Amino acid sequence: MTNNEIAAWVQLTLIPGLGDESLRRLLTEFGSPEEVLAAPVHALTRIVKAPIAAAIHNGLDSAALSPSLRWLAMDNHFLVTLGDSHYPAQLLEIADPPPLLYVVGRRELLTAPSLAVVGSRNASAQGMANAENFARALSEAGLTIVSGLALGIDAAAHRGGLGGKASSVAVIGTGMDIVYPKRNLDLAKQLAQHGAIISEFPLGTPALANNFPRRNRIISGLAKGCLVVEATTSSGSLITARLATEQGREVFAIPGSIHSPFARGCHALIKQGAKLVESAQDVLEEIGWAGDASAGGPNLAHDGAPAASETQDPFLAHLGFDPVGVDELAARSGLGADEISSKLLQLELDGLICTLPGARYQRLK
């Protein structure tokens, strides 16, 4: 696109009160953003209300446009618009495709085969490990991992995706000049360098609650399917799963303990028809993805985790996979507290268990 075309696209999306649907209708009527901006007010009012038509006709001053144009002039910063060859064909299939996307990083990932991996912000250690291992295995198989850069499962999924060869894309609910939450700043830098970050929102858009459910349609829309790793019954990831279903995408869920609130959302999805999956291979088979599943990398049948024979300690059998305290471990194993503490320390150092609040422990592998 020329600089004038880019400026016209940005200007239209900054007009107060002009929504995506009206913008798409204007583009259908007049052909291009430049022609929309040049149209007379009376012609614009056939599609939008008079105050919005006047705002379009009058245009914006350079001060309002300059921040976006300066951002887009930076290396690896892009504007991808409807009709652009880089615009993801998958998004054209959804009911409300964004007219444009701000992109930083590897623009080609927007059109790569992908899978959404989402879940709870307040995830368990097991859930985080599952998200990262599944995402890494799926990325190694050739599927770019799409998620929302939130804490918890999203962040773990991005790390897993970046660890595989197909990388990861973050869809954010703010302007591209804002990283939210700030705790994911380092992860955002990795994504900008080795993956991609995209947003439909203008620069300067803060972290508004309504924007995050809205961006979820893009997360699911980009992907062949949506994997929910952990979710409470009120989790925003269930919105993404619902949107995926409405968009005709496959929905997958990892089951968990019947005692865990983080498993209840996944169990509800499974009851509603989501595919229960226990390995990355389950996902690949369900979507009919051959990809690079036969290539080297993680063992897809075990989601990138070492095989049980490589890590198995007899004491792990006493932990099970639910959080457990020392007293209960003593009752199960018949060992003394000192010996149990020694074993727990070694297993934690080996990355096989983690410590939870309340002096409880949980097996990770």
Q: What is the pLDDT of residues 336-358, one digit of tens each?
A: 988 988 889 888 888 788 887 77
The pLDDT score that the predictor gives to residue 34 is 95
In the predicted model, is pLDDT for residue 304 greater than 80?
no
Whole-angstrom distance, CA of residue 119 vs CA of residue 261:
12
Task: Give Dmax over CA atoms of the chain in angstroms.
Answer: 85
Whole-angstrom distance, CA of residue 103 vs CA of residue 324:
44
Residues with Cβ < 8 Å from 84, sequence gap 6 or more?
1
The pLDDT score that the predictor gives to residue 305 is 46
Cα dihedral 261, 222, 76, 68, rounded to 10, equals -90
SS3 150: coil
In the predicted model, is pLDDT for residue 258 greater than 60?
yes
The pLDDT score that the predictor gives to residue 175 is 97
The pLDDT score that the predictor gives to residue 323 is 81
In the predicted model, is pLDDT for residue 296 greater than 50?
no
* Residue-by-residue DSSP string for 32-97: SHHHHHHS-HHHHTTTS-HHHHHHHHH---HHHHHHHHHHHTSTTEEEEETT-TTS-GGGGGSSS-
Domain spanning 1-66, CATH architecture: Orthogonal Bundle (1.10)
CA distances from 354 to 106, 128, 148, 264, 305 (A): 35, 11, 25, 22, 15
* CB of 302 closer than 8 Å to CB of 140: no
pLDDT digits (tens, 9 = 90+) for 200-241: 999 999 999 999 999 999 999 999 999 999 999 999 999 999
CA distances from 273 to 220, 255, 286 (A): 17, 13, 13
Mean per-residue pLDDT, 286-292: 82
The pLDDT score that the predictor gives to residue 303 is 53
In the predicted model, is pLDDT for residue 114 greater than 80?
yes
Structure tokens given for 53: 């038509």
Alpha helices, H only, the chain: 3-13, 20-30, 33-38, 41-44, 50-58, 62-72, 125-140, 153-163, 185-194, 211-222, 237-246, 261-271, 280-286, 308-311, 316-319, 326-333, 337-349
Structure tokens given for 260: 């865990």
Domain spanning 107-302, CATH architecture: 3-Layer(aba) Sandwich (3.40)
In the predicted model, is pLDDT for residue 41 greater than 90?
yes
Mean per-residue pLDDT, 76-97: 94
For domain 308-363, give the CATH number.
Answer: 1.10.10.10
List the chain domain ranges: 1-66, 107-302, 308-363
Alpha helices, H only, 182-236: 185-194, 211-222
Whole-angstrom distance, CA of residue 265 vs CA of residue 241:
10
Mean per-residue pLDDT, 104-115: 97
